[in-house]
Structure 1
């Protein structure tokens, strides 16, 4: 509408209940941007003029709101320290390998479970101060957990590759197990908290594989080329479990 008609203004001021709702909405929306029509409205009643002037002066003096901070979707708010700890562990393992303090490349032994610390923070109610807002977003749940997990892998995997270079550790032997443990943490996290899932899987790997391998000074069979089909099967199984239990990620545990 170009301008409000005098008759419509008169009916609006007098509280006419027969004005269609769409016309009322259009009139009020137009008043927000048209000073001349606001003045016309003010002239229809003396009692309304001071109120309009007071309200409009308050609106004009309000500063525009600061730009809203976006909810982090590619990195967990509390994931930084855990990610830093993971990188520190990789550096320490590389130094130990360089010093020859272990017969088996320590980087290779730790690489499969290295990302799980960061993954544990991807969808964790206790570690996300904005969990109520996060859980209400359209992309919350498994979609958000996968995005944050991808952000962890983008950082951790290149770091592990660089850490394994001095000892000649081949990423081909630990990359698939690393993916299996990452997806396994997410799959088990659909039943229990992700932090608990990460702790269980990392603890089992440390107790059943890392410890005996360091004691026996032998590369475990689970990191031999013959075991890759097994890891591939685990990856497929975890993907199926995650797909079937996708709805369980609707809430932060």
Structure 2
């Protein structure tokens, strides 16, 4: 036998009777979710509320429209304030490497060439910096958050860093451009597992220990930056890009 709320109970519920027990009010609410008849009877009981609702809507219609923020939202999809100091650091390090190359006068391998593959990594790590970006939660709640947003900010980092490296190195960009892209994509791929910041630190430390350090000691360009190694860098880029694509959903909740 189906239970229905009585007319008196619906009237007290619609009026917000403070004497109505909480458990009874909850029972009425649960019943109304599945009973169209009682909802219709409640609407008839609450007709006196309609003028109040219309008055509230009229007040909302008269409220001034908020100022457009499209430009600001467009900017936050490409960059975040947390990226500025990291990009500035990248610029300074690259300039310092160029000065070092000029001072050594070819005695050592080009410092700028050695640093070029990992130059964008710091900016990529800051592209999705939850702790450093004051607007992170707001941007993360937008429909385009996740991999789409990370890729756009990564592209913004490359647009700044790659021309700077091209101007700062006297070596053909063929040597460092593909390794630079490989490290960028590898940071994103590894960041999907351990976070962008940890991925960036790990890759930079590994590159410094196993490539930059030995190259400075032997005063020779490392084998990994010779033209013969470009095929390996291409394969690394493709594999890491595939990992990023397959794990696209993790970037929505990515920790940095």
For this structure pair, what is the TM-score category when the shorter chain's length is used for normalisation?
A: 0.7 to 0.9
Q: Which runs of 4+ in 1 moved over 3 A?
A: 54-60
Aligned-residue offset at 1:76 = 2.4
Larger helix share, 1 or 2: 2
Cα deviation code 1:94-114 (max 9, x no counterpart): 011111265110000000000
In the alignment of these two chains, the number of paired residues is: 204
Aligned-residue offset at 1:80 = 0.5
Q: 1:111 aligns with which of 99, 111, 116?
A: 116
Q: 1:122 aligns with which of 127, 152, 155?
A: 127
Q: 1:218 aligns with which of 216, 220, 225?
A: 220
Judging changes above 3 Å, is the alpha-carbon distance between structure 1 residues 59 and 179 closer, same or farther for their aligned structure 2 residues?
Answer: closer
Judging changes above 3 Å, is the alpha-carbon distance between structure 1 residues 183 and 56 closer, same or farther for their aligned structure 2 residues?
Answer: closer
Partner of 1:33: none
Deviates more, 1:65-74 or 1:194-203: 65-74
**How do 1:1-253 residues align onto structure 2 when only pairs under 5 Å count?**
62-68=63-69, 69-70=72-73, 72-100=76-104, 103-164=108-169, 168-253=170-255
Decide whether the 8 Å contact of 2:145 with 2:252 is kept in 1: yes
Judging changes above 3 Å, is the alpha-carbon distance between structure 1 residues 229 and 66 closer, same or farther for their aligned structure 2 residues?
Answer: same
Decide whether the 8 Å contact of 2:82 with 2:129 is kept in 1: no
Aligned-residue offset at 1:55 = 9.7
Decide whether the 8 Å contact of 2:109 with 2:219 is kept in 1: yes
Decide whether the 8 Å contact of 2:192 with 2:250 is kept in 1: yes
Q: Please give the alpha-carbon distance, in whole angstroms, between the structure 2 residues aligned to 1:119 and 1:223.
A: 22
Aligned-residue offset at 1:75 = 1.1
Q: Please give the alpha-carbon distance, in whole angstroms, between the structure 2 residues aligned to 1:199 and 1:150.
A: 20
Judging changes above 3 Å, is the alpha-carbon distance between structure 1 residues 208 and 65 closer, same or farther for their aligned structure 2 residues?
Answer: same
Deviates more, 1:241-250 or 1:149-158: 241-250
Aligned-residue offset at 1:59 = 6.9
- TM-score, normalised with respect to structure 2: 0.73
Decide whether the 8 Å contact of 1:187 with 1:242 is kept in 2: yes
Q: Please give the alpha-carbon distance, in whole angstroms, between the structure 2 residues aligned to 1:145 and 1:217.
A: 37
Unaligned runs of 5+ in 2: 1-39, 44-49
Q: Please give the alpha-carbon distance, in whole angstroms, between the structure 1 residues aligned to 2:129 and 2:229.
A: 32
Unaligned runs of 5+ in 1: 1-16, 21-27, 29-40, 42-47
Cα deviation code 1:96-148 (max 9, x no counterpart): 11112651100000000000000001122112212222221111111110000
Judging changes above 3 Å, is the alpha-carbon distance between structure 1 residues 126 and 55 closer, same or farther for their aligned structure 2 residues?
Answer: closer
Aligned-residue offset at 1:218 = 0.4
Decide whether the 8 Å contact of 1:107 with 1:169 is kept in 2: no
